[in-house]
């Protein structure tokens, strides 16, 4: 009987933690109507051609919805979502690397794959932040990692 109570308690606590994790992700991710990457298929970035996904082929992972161009792309994402999710919740990586970081919208077609991870950047009004990021990528990445860690703790 004690064993059953312990198992049920564990399951309940796990569900509470997962719900909190989902709420935190939703709070911190750059989404429009809870859709990440402005609806672009995250898998297509890794083929060097970002393409908008279809609303009819969507998948919600830990509270964040992604769209896909086909079922194959959806299957790849489901098999390893952490690999394909954008860094820093889909916010501009360069803006997060600044001394005073800001959550800045990113252009879904301005991106880099660094060490197998997708990074997106602001690119509008003649300002392409990926160029600034590239000037000192290791330092930018270190700063952005730290700043993003501080932001998601809130």
pLDDT higher than 60, residue 98: yes
| The total number of structural domains that make up the chain | 2
Same domain, 66 and 2: yes
Q: How confident is the model at residue 10 (pLDDT cuts 50, 70, 90)?
A: very low
Of 118, 84, 122, residue with least CA distance to 103: 122
* Residue 87 token pair: 């860094």
Supply the pLDDT for residue 31. 83
Q: Residue 47's pLDDT is what?
A: 93
Domain boundary among 85, 109, 137: 85
Residues 91 and 151 in one domain: yes
> Looking at the predicted structure, is the pLDDT value of residue 144 above 50?
yes
**Is 5 in the same domain as 49?**
yes
Is 122 found in the same domain as 112?
A: yes
Q: pLDDT digit string (tens) for 102-137?
A: 999 999 999 999 999 999 999 999 899 999 999 999
Q: Which domain holds residue 73?
A: 1-85
């Amino acid at each position: 009987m004690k064993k059953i109570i312990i198992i049920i308690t564990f399951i309940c606590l796990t569900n509470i933690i997962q719900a909190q994790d989902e709420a935190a992700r939703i709070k911190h991710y750059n989404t429009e109507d809870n859709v990440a990457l402005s609806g672009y298929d995250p898998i297509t970035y890794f083929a060097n051609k970002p393409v908008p996904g279809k609303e009819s082929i969507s998948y919600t992972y830990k509270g964040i919805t992604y769209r896909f161009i086909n079922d194959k792309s959806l299957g790849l994402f489901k098999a390893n979502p952490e690999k394909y999710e954008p860094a820093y919740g889909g916010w501009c990586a360069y803006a997060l690397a600044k001394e005073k970081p800001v959550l800045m919208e990113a252009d879904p077609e301005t991106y880099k794959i660094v060490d197998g991870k997708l990074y997106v950047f602001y690119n509008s009004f003649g300002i392409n932040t990926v160029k600034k990021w590239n000037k000192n990528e290791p330092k930018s990445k270190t700063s952005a990692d730290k700043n993003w860690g501080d932001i998601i703790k809130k």
